[in-house]
Amino acid sequence: MLRWLEKTLFYPYQVFFASERKENQGMMQKYVKGLVGDLGCGSANYRPFCLSLPGVTDYLGMDYPVWAENFNHSVALADSMGALGQTLLRAAPSGAQLWVDGTRLAIGDNRFDTLLSLGVLEHIPNHRAYLSEVCRVLKPGGCLVITIPFLYQAHGGAEGADDFYRWTRSGLVHELKLAGLECLEVEPFGGVGAMFSQLVNGYLIKKIKVYRPGNPLRPLLLGASLTPLFFLVNCIAWVLERLDRDSTFASGYRAVGRKPFAPPGQ
């Protein structure tokens, strides 16, 4: 209902999401093709974009059932706070078409042309098993497009939906190599401006979320009174985002890992 708000600097995550979305789509345009699997798809936000790419034949959203309750809880919380809550908390139901555990996929070898893993790795205690499964189910020459947070608030939710890790740029490249993937590209996502606004406005939102049933006006009042602050933070972030891109102060990193073709004779 208030979706137009998301395009303005009054929306707390405007600078962060604009930067993240544009750059993710840029990388996907370059590498995403054929059968695309989104491993830990959440609300499957990139499904329409992937299906709009000329080289893509199909998209399969896969997710971990343990998190389903977490998504339902977020949607219920946002709904209980009305239109403002729905806009600020951006909760959406799961977009999974197939329920899986990414560390033990019941899927044959060499199936996908592309895999997406967007903000998933930090939630998996046994992340190496997940990356090794990614490498197994990718076709030779197929690519993994992965994003991980770095300077980003700890997030997750209900029990079993934790946030375990952060990696640096070199750490991510190292993990891809260990899994047997050749790293084609790695870059920061979010410049210092996006990182700053995500952390400051994310903190303020967290306080709005501490919502007590029985006082339905509280989130509304908090949201309304914090809006000028979101705007101010976003203005500073917007300028910083254009002035500086310091990869050591990034919100996270995105990378592309390619499964090598088997050497001739194997």
Ligand X SMILES: C[S@@+](CC[C@H](N)C(=O)[O-])C[C@H]1O[C@@H](n2cnc3c(N)ncnc32)[C@H](O)[C@@H]1O
Q: Return the number of the residue (41 or 176) whose C-beta is nearest ligand X.
A: 41
Q: How far is the CB of 103 from ligand X (least distance, A)?
A: 5
Q: Which is nearer to ligand X, 39 or 192 (CB)?
A: 39
Q: Could you tell me the smallest distance in angstroms from the CB atom of residue 172 to ligand X?
A: 16
∠103-104-109 over CA atoms, to 5°?
110
What SS3 state is found at 90? Answer: coil
Shortest Cβ 266–ligand X spacing (Å): 30
Residues 6+ apart with CB under 8 A from 82: 216, 220
Nearer to ligand X, 42 or 191 (CB): 42
Residue number with the smallest Cβ distance to ligand X: 42
| Of residues 67 and 249, the one with the C-beta less far from ligand X | 67
Q: What's the Cα-to-Cα distance from 54 to each of 32, 61, 185, 258, rounded to whole Å?
A: 10, 19, 22, 20
At 67 the three-state DSSP class reads helix
Spatial separation of the C-alpha atoms in residues 223 and 228, rounded to whole Å: 10
* Binding region for ligand X (CB under 6 A): 39-43, 45, 63-64, 67, 101-103, 118-120, 123-124
Shortest CB 210 distance to ligand X, Å: 20
Give the integer Cα–Cα distance in Å for 253 and 40: 17
Inter-residue contact 191 to 240 (CB < 8 Å): yes
**Cβ closer to ligand X: 154 or 232?**
154
Helices H, strands E: what count in the chain?
A: 8, 7
Nearer to ligand X, 6 or 101 (CB): 101
CB of 253 to ligand X, least distance (A): 14
Closest contact distance (angstroms) between CB of 206 and ligand X is 15
